[in-house]
Amino acid sequence: MHSTAIGPLTHGRVLKIALPIVLSNATIPILGAVDTGVVGQMGLAAPIGAVGIGAVVLSSLYWIFGFLRMGTTGLVAQARGAGDMGETGALLMRALMIGVAAGVTFIIFQAVLFWLAFRLAPASDEVEALAKTYLEIRIWGAPATIALYAVTGWLIATERTRGVLVLQLWMNGLNIALDLWFVLGLGWGVSGVAIATLIAEWTGLGLGIFLCRPAFSGGQWLDFKRILDRAKLKIMMSVNGDIMVRSVILQASILTFLFMGARFGDVTLAANQVILQFLEITAFALDGFAFAAEALVGAAMGAGRRDDLRRAAILTSKWGVSMALPLAAFFWFAGPSLIDLMSTAPDVRQVAKLYLPWVALMPILGIAAWMFDGIFIGATRTRDLRNAMIISGLVYFAAIFLLVGPFGNKGLWMALIILQIVRAMTLGYYYPRLEAAADHNSAVRQ
């Protein structure tokens, strides 16, 4: 079967995929600022803390299923590259079923989950009571939020990233409008913020399914014999399991960085938090090109076209580097002013500026790891991705052990940079296997 997914691999095609993702990511911090701002108008500290804690608890729970986004993208892109459009619909249905089932499980066990969360992160009685109110409302959006990972993955794989932007604009725009109405207009307080988000999540899922309507245009989405095919499910679970292990180690690395930073006092901890926001900006800016790599590499892998796979990897990486270099320069020159905007404490400003050069290096030294992530996810070489992360994590924790003692917080930043470099080196080592797999796919298709 001839694939219609492999067309000319051009700069314009990369940008068509990447730029909507970059713009979509830019809207995310705005929502958090508005949530904080509207409850801040109540003139009390407790509601701000409650919304903050509640949002962190739910995002941590939902993050466990973040593999649905990446796994769906890689598998759908490959099915599309192979010309198996029926499988792209079946894959979306499998992912949606997993997402809804996970969300329903969270609803059923919410009492236990929230009890554990408050034991791990205790707060004052007032904040805990308000946070519980927030959580008890928002948890009903869990099936929609987790299922949206699948929707987003499918849209990226099929190069419909304008749909991702539309979806993000709708959800964040509606959420902000309802925040203002429910909290400032109707005086619903913390409950108003939660209800606004709940409505945005469910309407977002409805819009997302509409944007994925090509997946439902045939009867494949009702072909449960195909959807529940044991071999296909086994592949999906293997891919998603590998991605989850990789993501857990990466998240543990970041949390270790934060916890170790706390050992150097409140000022250093605050300074690290301030300049870590620059890494968030870096991720938002570079995600678009990594996602483009997922879609284009995945399609080439599915079609068994080694040359197209290599061109997709090089083309998307060139754009990633072209974004990383200006970002590094921006952080270097504008960083001090940004730090002054983010903190008014003189001691925090001083310490943050001391470590600014380390974070300014991160886009340059981390771009290879970011792009390799997208390339390996698209090719669904997730076992290599997992193994590379295990090796990198071990080296990172060893670097912390060896460097933090003699160099303090500077050693912590050295270790974080070493993590990115080793991730790139290990994935680079595995890359020839990825191209060989494309040759294997080509032989099978012939």
Measured over the CA atoms of residue 144, residue 145, residue 146 and residue 149, the dihedral's sign is positive
How confident is the model over 18-47, as pLDDT tens digits? Answer: 999 989 887 776 666 676 667 767 666 677
Residues 385 and 381: their CA atoms lie apart, in Å, by 6
DSSP letter assigned to residue 344: -
- Report the pLDDT averaged over residues 366-392: 95
Whole-number percent of the chain with pLDDT over 90: 55
H or E element, residue 326: helix 306-342
- Report the pLDDT averaged over residues 50-58: 78
Q: What confidence score (pLDDT) does residue 440 get?
A: 67
Tokens representing 71 are: 């796994």
Q: Is the pTM of this model over 0.85?
A: yes
Q: What confidence score (pLDDT) does residue 441 get?
A: 65
To the nearest 10 degrees (0 to 180), the angle between helices 306-342 and 266-303 is 160
- Report the pLDDT averaged over residues 40-57: 72
CB of 409 closer than 8 Å to CB of 264: yes
Cα 55 to Cα 74, 190, 247, distances in angstroms: 29, 12, 20
How confident is the model over 211-246, as pLDDT tens digits? Answer: 999 888 777 667 778 888 889 899 999 999 999 999
The lowest-confidence range among 117-121, 303-307, 321-325, 430-434 is: 117-121
How remote is the C-alpha of 133 from its chain's centroid?
27
Residues 132 and 121: their CA atoms lie apart, in Å, by 13
CB of 77 closer than 8 Å to CB of 299: yes
Residues 93 and 223: their CA atoms lie apart, in Å, by 10
Residue 9's nearest CA partner among 299, 253, 266, 212 is: 299
Q: What is the CA radius of gyration of the chain?
A: 22
Supply the mean pLDDT for the chain.
Answer: 88
Give SS3 for 372: helix
Q: What confidence score (pLDDT) does residue 338 get?
A: 84
How confident is the model over 190-216, as pLDDT tens digits? Answer: 889 899 999 999 999 999 999 999 888
Residue 384's nearest CA partner among 283, 238, 230 is: 238
CB of 303 closer than 8 Å to CB of 5: yes
Say if residue 262's pLDDT is above 80.
no
- Report the pLDDT averaged over residues 47-59: 77
Give 421's pLDDT tier (boundaries 50, 70, 90). very high
Neighbours of 344 (CB within 10 A): 8
Question: Which residue ranges make up each domain of the chain?
Answer: 7-228, 238-446
Residues 202 and 220: their CA atoms lie apart, in Å, by 24
Q: What confidence score (pLDDT) does residue 1 get?
A: 40
Neighbours of 217 (CB within 10 A): 10
Residues 305 and 299: their CA atoms lie apart, in Å, by 9
Q: What confidence score (pLDDT) does residue 127 get?
A: 77
Say if residue 123's pLDDT is above 70.
no
Q: What confidence score (pLDDT) does residue 206 get?
A: 96
* More reliable by pLDDT, 33 or 153: 153
DSSP letter assigned to residue 141: G
Say if residue 2's pLDDT is above 50.
no
Give 446's pLDDT tier (boundaries 50, 70, 90). low
Say if residue 318's pLDDT is above 80.
yes
Q: What confidence score (pLDDT) does residue 106 get?
A: 94
> Residue 10 region, left (φ>0) first, then alpha (ψ -120 to 50), else beta?
beta
* More reliable by pLDDT, 331 or 224: 331
